[in-house]
Each structure stands twice: as structure tokens, then as C-alpha cells.
């Protein structure tokens, strides 16, 4: 039996119309072991190792893992994989790993077979949420709304959908010629969009199912079924390469960047070495050492300053050339300059406190191991695309551009986009309060 849902305009919710279902398998309100499971096989044919390919500065699988972990809904969050590198990335993002067997790692293996194996090895699980790694605009509130339908309203299975207003036609094949017939409309009475509720289509983002239903009937969708409607802007699915640039733009605007994402950034610390320079030193004929900077990066700094973001350049005593460069940049852009040691946090904390800011109001752009603590603590943090793995793992955003080649400009645009998103969300909340 499928429940008929009512959608509140502009809000994803789990409201239902009709009688409250009773469920012999899952009593409403009972505390259950709920596991999130992301299936990430290493043998993707469309896009090789798609699940860990970088999307908008984050591994694809990292987007859904961040949402699942931050939701605090799950007893455990798992990635099921057969690949060493996917396992490493999954653990970096806070997941446990189910190392799937060769029997469920074939091209012909189904999601159901993999989930059944997971449940055999984890008999304590009562509800499993199969989250698709290819749905990077998933937010914790989506998962909360769907899980409530199972834990509070007693459904056996709940899956995500998106509402589509598309007229569909059926292909009819005959020996002489092919023709078509209407599938969901009367051509003589084509409805206006505003007069038609549209149709619900699976968007592939997630599937909640009681473990009993999977174990006893081998079904991911069955028993008493409900759905959770997601708005179109969140319904992103990546299947082939052509989807990638579109998804990247969508996730920058609608993706979930973490529960500590700041409403406003007031201060940016940026390492000169490795971020504004590319790591090369030029020697003149007279033996003078020189480095180069990119005008796109200085433009990025000015873009932030125009939006009342204070920019402070960080240098090291072991890099006198960077110090000289910072002084020149400070003259041209009005940036502050601060010399830091092997633990920048020690020197920067008093500066943050002096400005009466929290670290979530601070952005940080670093490059190497010594930057890890600041990268972790800052509300927004980034590294150039050529940064070492230890820094990439700590940053919230990895630039496409490398150091000295526009990475600073890219991060500046990212900061301003997040600021715009926060303002839009605040405006929407303010309007809804009237």
C-alpha cells in the first residue's frame, strides 16, 4: 500500500494524507539500528572510478557521506566497495567499510544482492538506507524527513522522488512501421502546467527499507510504501561524463557543505607559498631570486575586500622571498601580512579573538601539513589542486587550479557564492515568517 503525500510548497516534508498505517514489522517510535549504506564499486564503466572523482572540490562520494554523517540519524555509516582507493576515501570521510565479496562485485551484480550480503554480515541492523553516491545535492534534512516516515509513521520502505511535468508517449513497434501513443495525457485536452500535479519519478537519491522486508521478501520497495519528495534543484544524478559540468554548477549552489558552513566570512588567511606562488624560483643572470604571481589571484583578493572580507597573507621565516612578495602585495592591495611558524594556529588564534570572531567566520587557504589544523577548524577552507594529500583531506574545498595559477581567485569565487547562498536562504526564511 502506497501512502499519498501532501507537499508543502517550497518545503521537502514527510506529511501524508489518509489513515496512519500500522506496521507489524516496525512499531512507531521504537529505537532501531539504522544504517546508511553507500554502494561504490570500483568498476564503473561510464566514468572510471566515478565515485571518488573530484566534483566541485570534493570526491563525489564525499558529498553524500558528509550529509549522512552530519545528519546524526544513523547508528553507522558504511561504504560497500571492492576497491582500495575508494576504501581509503570512505574512511577519510568518516565511514566504515564493508569490503564486498567477489560474488557481488561483478558487472551483473545488483544493488539488492550487495545489500543482502551487508545485512547477513550485520544482523543487528533494523533499517538500511541505501544512499546513491551519484546524488551530490543530498542534505541531512532530506534524510531526516524520510526516516521519520519509517520510525514515526511505520512504513516499510520510503524512497526519494522528484515531481516532473513531462508529457510521455509510448513507442509502439510494428512490422511495417513504428508509431506512438500518448502515455500520460489526452492530446485533445492538454493541461496547463499549473493545472496538472505532474508525476512522481524516482530521483535515485536514497532508499530506506526495513531489514525485515529485505531478509524475508528480498525487496527494497515493498510492504507499506511511502515516498519523500525532493525539489528539482536537489535532484541531481550523475551517470555519464556529460552530466559532470552541469552537476558541478548545481552542487556549488545547492550542495551541502557541512553543518559548520558559515553564514558570513569576515576574514581570510592565505598562505603565500604554494597558494599565490607555484613553488618555482627564477634566477636572473645576476643571481637574483624571483617568483611570479597571477593577476587573477590578486583580482580574487580585491573581490573579497569589496565584500568586506579582510585578507591577511601568511609568510614563513624560512621563505624570505615570499615575505618580500607579501610586502609588495600588501602595498598594492591593502592586505595585512603575518609571519607564522610550523603551527600557524598558534599565531592566528589571537588575531581571530581580537576581532571577536569564531573560527567558523574565518576562511583559510593553505597548502601543506602545517596547515591541517587551520583547514579543519575554519568555516571555509581550501587548498590548490596540487596540494599534498594530507592537506587535501583536511580542506573543505579543493581547487581545480594549482598554486600560483588562479587557485586564490577560484577560492574567492567559492567564498562569495557561499555568502550569496546564505543570504538567499536567510531571505527565504525571513519571508516565510510573515
Q: 16-31 pLDDT, tens per residue?
A: 333 333 444 444 445 8
Residue 433 has pLDDT above 70, yes or no: no
Residue 195 has pLDDT above 80, yes or no: yes
The predicted pLDDT at position 45 comes to 67
> What is the arithmetic mean of pLDDT over 276-293?
69
| % of the chain residues with pLDDT over 90 | 51
Crossing angle between the packed helical segments 295-306 and 407-432, to the nearest 10 degrees = 20
Give the Cα separation of 134 and 157 in Å (integer): 21
Domains of the chain plus CATH, in order, are: 4-167+196-254 (3.90.550.10), 267-427 (3.40.50.1000)
Q: 118-170 pLDDT, tens per residue?
A: 999 999 999 999 999 999 999 999 999 999 999 999 999 999 999 998 899 99
The predicted pLDDT at position 287 comes to 63
User: In 3D, which of 322, 317, 307 has the Cα closest to residue 403?
Assistant: 322
Residue 113 has pLDDT above 90, yes or no: yes
Residue 314 has pLDDT above 60, yes or no: yes
Give the Cα separation of 59 and 47 in Å (integer): 13
Give the Cα separation of 360 and 243 in Å (integer): 32
> Could you write out the DSSP letters of every residue in 57-97?
TEEHHHHHHHHHHHHT--SEEEEEES-HHHHHHHHHTT-EE
Burial class (CB in 10 A: 0-12, 13-18, 19+), 37: buried
Instruction: Spell out the residues 6+ positions from residue 15 whose beta carbon is closer than 8 angstroms to its own.
Output: 5, 6, 7, 8
Asked if 233 contacts 142 with a C-beta cutoff of 8 angstroms, the reply is no
User: In 3D, which of 133, 311, 293, 118 has the Cα closest to residue 209?
Assistant: 118
128, β-bridge pairs: 35, 209
Residue 181 has pLDDT above 50, yes or no: yes
Residue 93 has pLDDT above 80, yes or no: yes
> What is the arithmetic mean of pLDDT over 38-60?
85
> What is the arithmetic mean of pLDDT over 162-190?
88
Q: Please state which of the ranges 11-15, 112-116, 175-179, 205-209 shows the lowest mean pLDDT.
A: 11-15
Catalytic residue among 6, 99, 164, 190: 190
Higher per-residue pLDDT: 263 or 346: 346
Residue 379 has pLDDT above 90, yes or no: no
Residue 273 has pLDDT above 90, yes or no: no
The predicted pLDDT at position 103 comes to 92
Q: 204-253 pLDDT, tens per residue?
A: 999 999 999 999 999 999 999 999 999 998 998 887 666 788 888 888 88
The predicted pLDDT at position 87 comes to 96
Q: 317-364 pLDDT, tens per residue?
A: 666 666 677 777 877 788 888 888 888 999 999 999 999 998 888 999
> What is the arithmetic mean of pLDDT over 389-415?
91
Which triple of cell numbers denotes residue 107? Answer: 558487472
The predicted pLDDT at position 16 comes to 34
Whether the model pTM is above 0.75: no
Asked if 375 contacts 395 with a C-beta cutoff of 8 angstroms, the reply is yes
Decide if 163 is catalytic. Answer: no
Higher per-residue pLDDT: 358 or 434: 358
Amino acid at each position: 500500500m502506497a501512502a499519498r503525500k501532501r507537499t508543502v510548497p517550497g518545503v521537502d516534508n514527510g506529511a501524508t494524507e489518509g489513515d496512519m498505517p500500522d506496521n507489524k514489522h516496525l512499531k512507531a517510535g521504537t529505537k532501531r539500528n539504522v544504517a546508511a549504506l553507500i554502494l561504490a564499486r570500483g568498476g564503473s564503466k561510464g566514468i572510471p572510478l566515478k565515485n571518488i572523482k573530484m566534483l566541485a572540490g570534493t570526491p563525489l562520494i564525499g558529498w553524500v557521506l558528509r550529509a549522512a554523517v552530519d545528519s546524526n540519524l544513523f547508528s553507522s555509516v558504511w561504504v560497500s566497495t571492492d576497491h582500495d582507493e575508494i576504501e581509503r576515501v570512505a574512511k577519510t570521510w568518516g565511514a566504515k567499510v564493508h569490503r564486498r565479496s567477489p560474488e557481488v562485485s561483478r558487472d551483473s551484480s545488483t544493488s539488492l544482492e550487495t545489500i543482502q550480503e551487508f545485512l547477513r554480515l550485520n544482523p543487528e541492523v533494523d533499517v538500511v538506507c541505501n544512499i546513491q553516491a551519484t546524488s551530490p545535492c543530498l542534505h541531512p534534512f532530506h534524510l531526516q524527513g524520510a526516516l521519520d516516515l519509517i520510525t514515526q509513521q511505520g512504513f516499510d520502505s520510503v524512497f526519494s522522488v522528484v515531481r516532473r511535468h513531462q508529457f510521455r508517449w509510448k513507442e509502439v513497434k510494428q512490422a511495417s512501421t513504428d508509431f506512438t501513443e500518448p502515455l500520460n495525457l489526452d492530446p485533445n485536452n492538454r493541461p496547463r502546467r499549473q493545472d496538472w500535479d505532474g508525476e512522481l519519478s524516482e530521483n535515485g537519491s536514497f532508499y530506506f527499507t526495513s531489514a525485515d522486508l529485505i531478509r524475508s521478501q528480498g525487496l527494497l520497495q515493498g510492504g507499506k510504501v511511502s515516498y519523500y519528495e525532493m525539489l528539482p534543484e536537489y535532484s541531481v544524478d550523475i551517470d555519464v561524463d556529460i552530466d559532470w559540468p552541469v552537476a558541478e554548477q548545481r552542487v556549488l549552489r545547492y550542495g551541502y557543505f557541512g553543518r559548520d558552513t558559515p553564514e558570513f566570512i569576515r576574514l581570510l588567511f592565505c598562505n603565500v607559498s604554494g597558494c599565490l606562488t607555484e613553488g618555482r624560483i627564477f634566477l636572473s643572470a645576476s643571481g637574483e631570486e624571483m617568483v611570479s604571481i597571477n593577476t587573477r589571484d590578486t583580482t580574487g583578493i580585491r573581490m573579497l575586500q569589496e565584500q568586506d572580507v579582510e585578507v591577511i597573507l601568511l609568510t614563513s621565516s624560512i621563505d624570505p622571498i615570499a615575505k618580500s612578495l607579501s610586502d609588495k602585495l600588501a602595498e598594492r592591495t591593502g592586505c595585512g601580512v603575518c609571519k607564522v611558524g610550523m603551527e600557524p594556529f598558534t599565531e592566528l588564534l589571537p588575531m581571530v579573538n581580537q576581532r571577536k570572531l569564531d573560527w567558523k567566520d574565518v576562511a583559510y587557504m593553505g597548502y601543506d601539513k602545517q596547515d591541517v589544523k587551520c583547514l579543519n577548524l575554519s568555516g571555509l577552507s581550501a587548498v590548490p589542486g596540487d596540494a599534498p594529500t594530507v592537506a587535501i583531506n583536511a580542506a573543505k574545498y579543493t581547487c581545480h587550479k594549482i598554486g600560483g595559477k588562479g587557485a586564490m581567485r577560484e577560492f574567492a569565487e567559492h567564498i562569495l557564492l557561499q555568502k550569496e547562498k546564505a543570504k538567499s536562504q536567510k531571505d527565504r526564511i525571513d519571508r516565510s515568517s510573515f
